[in-house]
Chain A
Amino acid sequence: MITLNLTSKSFGATTILRDINLTVAKGETVGLTGPSGIGKTTLLRLICGIDTDYIGTIQRPDNIAIVFQEPTLLPWRSVLDNIALVHSHLNQDAVKAVLERVGLGNKLAQFPGQLSLGQQRRLSLARAFAARPDVLILDEPFVSLHPELADEMFALTEDLIRETQPATIFVSHNPSDTDRLADRVLTLAGSPATLV
């Protein structure tokens, strides 16, 4: 589903990533760990297509979804619109169904600013799973959540992954998080960083 053969990724004269080969199959969840600033988010941005300035090849399907560290919502649009505008091909019933699925069925008309942080994260998850993605990127989506809330979000994410079976890459600093969600765990290390 995802085939990555990255020769190098540099910012100016500084090479950040080198010789990274990775394949993630449909339904598989790969955990990615490594110290802060090593280049995990950079690698995810390459896989998502946000950053196209690299040497190597990346093959992935078009139907991709991402959950950022921050919810990254449209604060000026309602909960319903936050999904409907991003996935304009989905009808209202499908959007409502996915919001119902993450427990936001009674918040459709509210603005993100009226939701708790946990609810905003749920909305971000709903947006990711709404179009049943082939590839799912999770960039530390449970960071800064209260342990109970993080556990609840984990359970919801596990269920949604089981239901939609995307090829998933999950980044976290916390080894217990990657152990829980990932089928296998890879670590970025070195300078320039590579997978070990």
Chain B
Amino acid sequence: MKIKALSLTALLSVWVVAAYLSADPQVLPMPWALAEPFWSEIKSGALPFNLMMTLQRLVWAFALAMGLGLVLGLIMGLYPAVNTWLDPWLVVFLNLPALVLIVLCYLWIGLNETAAITAVTLNKIPNVATIIREGARALDSDLRAMAQVYAVPRRVYLRHFILPQMAPYIAAASRSGLAVIWKIVLVVEFLGRSNGVGFQIHLYFQLFEVSYVLVYSLSFIAIMLFVEWSLVQPWERHVNRWRNA
């Protein structure tokens, strides 16, 4: 924890030095100069509202991408015949630029929430599926044989045999998922929504208000760090506690 705080302080110092060298608050303001725009956006309610809108989209897209990617990755990892069929699709979607999918979703579905969430979900599913597929391929075949001989019920097998082996892969997919999805959500909002952090960044970009762009970006990064440290990492520690026993 101490090292993390020191590391973030070092990053802040780099920012201060860069702001000092640029000597232009319009280009890069000092960190403390963000207090005023931050407070004004809080007071007006714009910051909480837009953060909430982005979070909603992120939660939906994350849940859908993780759920569908998990199922797809497991099936592809466990059944080589299915993998042979679907692997080329995966490669195509992995290499399809996020922007193309976003634009196509807006064109085909319309400028609405469904298109926004679908675009983000479709962008992330291939990454989740790829990571989970590797996990499914690495499942212990001896444990599977043991479960088969002792006729372990399917529910118990999934929960206590499969899930613990998949946990590191699920954690990796969640972590990279969160990091990538929120960036794509911002692009989606930038291009076709009328609220959210991405929309606000678009707005302040047009007004050339760097401090407001930074306020929205940093606020969302703070939320993501909170999710990482308060949810993802404790969960990871819990499922891996047997390794340190």
Contacts and interface: CB of A to CB of B under 8 A. Distances in A.
Given A68-B142, A72-B146, A85-B156, A113 B151 contact: no
A74 interface: yes
Given A76-B242, A88-B156, A48 B164 contact: no
A137 B153 CA distance: 21
Nearest to B140: A72
A65 B242 contact: no
Interface string B146-168: 11111111001000110010000
Interface string A61-95: 01011101010101111000100011110000000
A47 B138 CA distance: 26
B103 to A, nearest CB: 44
Given A45-B145, A74-B161, A62 B242 contact: no
A66 B242 contact: no
Contact of A86 (B142, B152, B243): B152
Contact of A74 (B149, B160, B239, B245): B160
B143 interface: yes
A113 B242 contact: yes
Contacts of A49: 148-149
Nearest to B148: A50
B45 to A, nearest CB: 46
Interface string A28-61: 0000000000000000010011100000000000
A84 B66 CA distance: 31
Contacts of B153: 88
A85 B160 CA distance: 8
A152 B243 CA distance: 29
Interface of B, helix, strand, loop or mixed by DSSP: helix
Interface string A87-122: 110000000000000000000001101100000000
A113 B145 CA distance: 21
Contact of B150 (A45, A81, A86): A86
Contacts of B147: 86
Contact of B242 (A68, A85, A111): A111
B161 A114 contact: no
A77 B145 contact: no
Interface string A12-34: 00000000000000000000000
A151 B142 CA distance: 26
Contact of B146 (A68, A76, A111): A68
B149 A48 contact: yes
Contacts of B148: 48-50
Nearest to B157: A85
B184 to A, nearest CB: 33
Given A85-B160, A111-B245, A50 B145 contact: yes
Interface in B187-220: none
Nearest to A52: B148
A114 B245 contact: yes
Contacts of A137: 149
Most chain A C-beta atoms within 10 Å of own C-beta, residue among B143, B152, B160: B160
B143 A66 contact: no
Interface of A: 45, 48-50, 62, 64-66, 68, 70, 72, 74-77, 81, 85-88, 110-111, 113-114, 127, 131, 137
Interface of B: 142-143, 145-153, 156, 160-161, 164, 239, 242-243, 245
6 contacts: A49-B149, A68-B142, A75-B242, A86-B150, A88-B156, A127-B150
8 closest cross-chain pairs (CB), A and B? A76-B164, A76-B242, A111-B245, A50-B145, A111-B242, A72-B142, A66-B149, A86-B150
Given A68-B146, A77-B164, 20 more contacts: A45-B145, A48-B145, A48-B148, A50-B148, A64-B149, A65-B150, A66-B149, A66-B150, A70-B142, A72-B142, A72-B143, A75-B242, A76-B164, A87-B150, A111-B242, A113-B242, A113-B245, A114-B245, A131-B150, A137-B149
